[in-house]
Amino acid sequence: EVQLLESGGGLVQPGGSLRLSCAASGLTFSSFAMSWVRQAPVRGLEWVSALSAPGTSTYYADSVKGRFTISRDNSKNTLYLEMNSLRAEDTAIYYCAEGPRDDAFHVWGRGTMVTVSS
């Protein structure tokens, strides 16, 4: 069974930084593109960033471009999201997802909560 387990969320002040991790198991991690998708309070899902299987191609939503960096360590089966210059509007549950694969996100984690507030 494929499992994705996010960690690293918490409370951070505006302008601060946070690093999220996603530990993957049950799949050949290095074969799959991976993504981060977030859900702000009382809002829908928003795709944040994607990374190709070898980690050579990155994609970002305009709302986070220049502030967030996605990366992976295929030897550790782990995906990361480095978040800098955080804003109140970045407050959300951040989900790790396997994909896009054929443009869909096939497996999701349970998410980690990030709160940006003073």
Partner 1 sequence: QSVLTQPPSVSGAPGQRVTISCTGSNSNIGVGYHVHWYQHLPGTAPRLLIYGNNNRPSGVPDRFSGSKSGTSASLAITGLQAEDEGVYYCQSYDSKLSGWGFGGGTKLTVL
Residues of this chain that bind partner 1 (CB under 8 A): 4, 35, 37, 44-47, 50, 59-62, 95, 97, 100, 102-111
The distance of closest approach from Cβ of residue 66 to partner 1 in the complex, given in angstroms and rounded to an integer, is 15
Spell out the residues 6+ positions from residue 99 whose beta carbon is closer than 8 angstroms to its own.
32, 33, 34, 35, 50, 105, 106, 107
**Residue 12 or 94 with smaller CB distance to partner 1:** 94
| Bond from prior residue into 100 cis (ω within 30 degrees of 0) | yes
**Residue 84 or 108 with smaller CB distance to partner 1:** 108
Residue 4: CA atoms inside 13 Å, Cβ hemisphere, count?
27
**Residue 2 or 55 with smaller CB distance to partner 1:** 2
d(CA 14, CA 110): 25
